[in-house]
Structure formats: C-alpha cells, structure tokens
Amino acid sequence: MTEQNTRLGILMMVATTFVFAIQDGISRHLAGEYNVMMVVMIRYWFFAAFVIALARRNAGGIRAAAATTQPVLQAFRAVLLVAEICVMILAFTLLGLVESHAVFACYPLLIAALSGPILGEHVGWRRWAAIAVGFVGVIIILEPGFGVFEPEAVVPLMAALMFALYGLLTRYAARRDTAATSFFWTGTVGSIAMTAAGIWFWEPMTGSDWVWMGALCITGALGHYTLIKCYEVAEASAVQPFAYLQLVFVSIIGISVFSETIRPNVAFGVALIVGAGLFTLWRQRKLSA
C-alpha cells in the first residue's frame, strides 16, 4: 500500500463521514415531521436501486452479486441494519444528533468485545481494559445516578449494539461471500423488509420535504460510494480512526442547525470513548502486523 493511496483513503473517509453527517441532519429533520418508518423506507428504495445499478455494472451482473451459500445470514444482516437505522433516527428525535452520536460512538468497542464469542477472535487484557474505559465514558454520558434516568438515553445504545452485531456478521459473511454480494443483499433485502413495515405508515409530504428526501437519498448513495472507494485504495486499519470525525461534523450540524448543546459530561464521556476506540484500533493493527 503506497503512501499516496493511504492519503487518498483518508481523504475519502473524511468525505464519507461528512456526507453521512449531513445525511443524519436531514434524517433528523424529516423524522421530526414524518414517521421514521416511512422516511427510512423511501431512503431504502433509492439504496436498492443504487446497489442493483452497481451489480449490473460488475462482471456476472445481478446473478453473480446475489449468489451466496448463506442466504439466511445475509438476509438477517440486511434486516438488522435497516432496524438499526430506524432505531438511530428515532434517537435523533428523542435526544438530538450530538448526544445520540456521543453514545453511538461506542460501537467499535462493542465490536471488539463481541468479536471473541461471535468470531472466535482473541481479545487480550489491554483491549478489555480499553473497552472498560470506553463504557465508563458511556455511563458518564448517560448519568444514571443523577436525578431521574431518561429511558430515551438507552435508544442510541441499542442502535450501537445492533450496528456492532451487524459489523461482526458482515465479517463472518466475508469468509465465504464477496463484499459486492454482501452489499447487494444489504440494499435489496433491506428495501423489501422496510417496505413491508413502512408502507403502513405512509403519509403525504410537502413539496419542500420531497426535496429534502431527495437529498437524503443522494447523500446515502454518495456516502456508501465514497466508503467503498475508500476501502479500495487504503487498508481499513489505516482509515478507520478517521471515522470518528463523523461525531465532530454531526456536533457542528446539531449545534448550528438544531440549536443543540454539548454538556460537559457528554464531552468528557466522548473523550474516553474515542480514546479507548482509537487504542483498540491501534492494538488490532499492531497485532495484525
């Protein structure tokens, strides 16, 4: 891997986090006006069209992209991701962008913790210590011992757990399927599942909000495209730490557009979570080397 490719990969990851942050801001706006299920359903229609178009361009076409020996696993992954997206957008409407992403930032630590029992990977004491520090950060953010604990605070934690499980199952599926196959199943089955659930919540949208919905669909496809290109030109271990920039971009949008604030305990908790997450990524890269 050349230095130029690594630099390009980092730039692509920064671009990806920026696009996804904009997508989250648009999602929060639309979910505040319409049912979350309908918003995610329309977004997934565009996502399915995007993955089908990509599959048709690749060698073997749709038949090759859909070919898998583990259809149940692939379908479960797809449904799990679409459910996680619904839960996370719900968190945006309950807690806002800043605090939702502050808690969600712990998902790499959940992946590290669950990689042992699910994938059979070895997790040493140093990474377990980092995981423990990260979850101290989550507790600081949630403040369970101060006043009345808000149940809404658990919603982004549920989303983080679901996304961590999705990530682990994606790695498990990669042992026998290509990334193109997993991506195809994620978009198509996710769209079918979301349509079955979301069509019951259809409601008319204003003209201006259809513009926002179009922007949501475009940012979703663009973000996935830049992420794919990122992993094509650089190693995942080199670019993954920069994924935390999404928290920075989301915070800027939350504060400037939605008038959110960052409480001191949230800032301190995030510092612990991100620090622990970066350590686990560094440790994983060192062990791989």
Q: pLDDT tens digit string along 191-236?
A: 999 999 999 999 999 989 999 999 999 998 888 888 878 877 877 7
Residue whose C-alpha is closest to residue 195's, from 54, 66, 72, 48: 48
Query: Quick one: tokens of 159?
Result: 């989303």
Provide Rg for the chain, Cα atoms: 19
d(CA 256, CA 229): 30
The pTM for the full model equals: 0.88
The amino acid sitting at 255 is: I
Number of domains in the chain: 1
Q: At what angle do helices 36-57 and 71-95 cross, to 10 degrees?
A: 140
Smallest Cα–Cα separation from 122: which of 288, 275, 273? 288
Domain range for 62: 3-288
Q: How far apart are CA 91 and CA 12, in angstroms?
A: 27
Report the C-alpha gap between 211 and 208 in whole angstroms: 5
How far is CA 23 from each of CA 57, 117, 170, 222, rounded to the nearest angstrom? 26, 33, 23, 10
In this predicted structure, what is the pLDDT of residue 195? Answer: 97
**Residue 93 parent element (H or E):** helix 71-95
Query: Quick one: pLDDT at residue 86?
Result: 96
Residue 2 has what pLDDT?
A: 45
Give the pLDDT score at 1.
43
Average pLDDT along the chain, 289 residues, taken 10 residues at a time: 68 91 95 94 94 88 92 96 95 92 87 80 79 85 62 88 91 87 93 96 93 94 84 75 87 92 88 87 72
